[in-house]
Amino acid sequence: MLNFSLHSARRILCLGAHADDIEIGAGGALLELAEKRPDLQVWWVVFSAPGERSAEAQASANDFLSAIPNREIKIGSFSESYFPNEWPFIKDWFEEIKRQFDPEIIFTDYRDDRHQDHRVLSDLAWNTFRNHLILEYEILKYDGDLGQPNVFIPLSEELASRKINLLMQHFRTQSKKHWFTRDSFEAMLRIRGIECVSDTGRAEAFYCRKLVLGPVSFR
């Protein structure tokens, strides 16, 4: 097992199809990075957050990134569940982001997620940012599409608890969904914590399809 740190990164791009995706998939990792590197520059981009969810997404992003002064939060208005039909317009927004920001790490949805919006976002992340470190996060849901991740970020009990508390605090519109519970989020952290032998028994997991080690650059 190879241990390496993400703490040397300075520029982070977070991509979420829906209002709570980033927080569910990578909220703990981002809290960890913010705690260790408050000098980070973070762009947090949510592509769909209709109605009340827009305010939820904005407030949640500000809370998760409260330790990072240099942050940019963007909330889009693409039609939820119809991302395949909006591919050209979402691609245009990706290109605009790329012109303005050159991230060192990108967090995005999992390519093999069964939700069509998640897959579109993941495909466009790879299509747009070809020579970047991309970590695909996972989201628990009805479809049963969890896979076998290959990157783990152990979390302290304090950060794991903070992640869950912020999710429950900010996304009240999701509270009636059968999977959106404190126990569900804790269970995911526990399962991934077991798989990476986390000292606290808690971790977030990601899928990394390409990792270049060393000084070689193709930019």
> How many C-beta neighbours within 10 Å does residue 218 have?
6
Q: Mind listing the pLDDT tens digit for each residue in 83-120?
A: 999 999 999 999 999 999 999 999 999 999 999 999 99
130 domain-assigned: yes
Distance between CA atoms of 88 and 52, rounded to whole angstroms?
26
Q: How many CA atoms lie within 13 A of 33 on its CB side?
A: 26
Confidence of residue 217 (pLDDT cuts 50, 70, 90): low
> Per the structure, how many domains does the chain have?
1
- Mean per-residue pLDDT for 165-180? 96
**Which has the higher per-residue pLDDT, 143 or 186?**
186
Distance between CA atoms of 203 and 194, rounded to whole angstroms?
8
- Give every CB contact of residue 5 below 8 A, 6+ residues apart in sequence: none
Compute the mean pLDDT over every residue in the chain, rounded to the nearest whole number.
94
> How many C-beta neighbours within 10 Å does residue 213 have?
7
Q: Mind listing the pLDDT tens digit for each residue in 131-168?
A: 999 999 999 988 999 999 999 999 999 999 999 999 99
101 domain-assigned: yes
> 121 near 17, Cβ under 8 Å?
yes
> Tell me, what's the pLDDT at 2?
60
Q: Is the pTM of this model over 0.85?
A: yes
Distance between CA atoms of 76 and 56, rounded to whole angstroms?
13
218 domain-assigned: no
List the domain range (segments joined by +) for residue 151.
11-207
216 domain-assigned: no
- Give every CB contact of residue 63 below 8 A, 6+ residues apart in sequence: 166, 169, 170
3 domain-assigned: no
214 domain-assigned: no
Exposed, middle or buried: residue 150 (CB in 10 Å: 0-12, 13-18, 19+)? exposed
Exposed, middle or buried: residue 93 (CB in 10 Å: 0-12, 13-18, 19+)? middle
128 domain-assigned: yes
Share of the chain above pLDDT 90, in %: 87
CATH, residue 37: 3.40.50.10320
Measure the CA dihedral 205/207/213/216, to 10°: -140
149 domain-assigned: yes
- Mean per-residue pLDDT for 42-49? 98
**pLDDT of 216 above 60:** no
Confidence of residue 57 (pLDDT cuts 50, 70, 90): very high
Q: Mind listing the pLDDT tens digit for each residue in 4-29?
A: 678 788 999 999 999 999 999 999 99
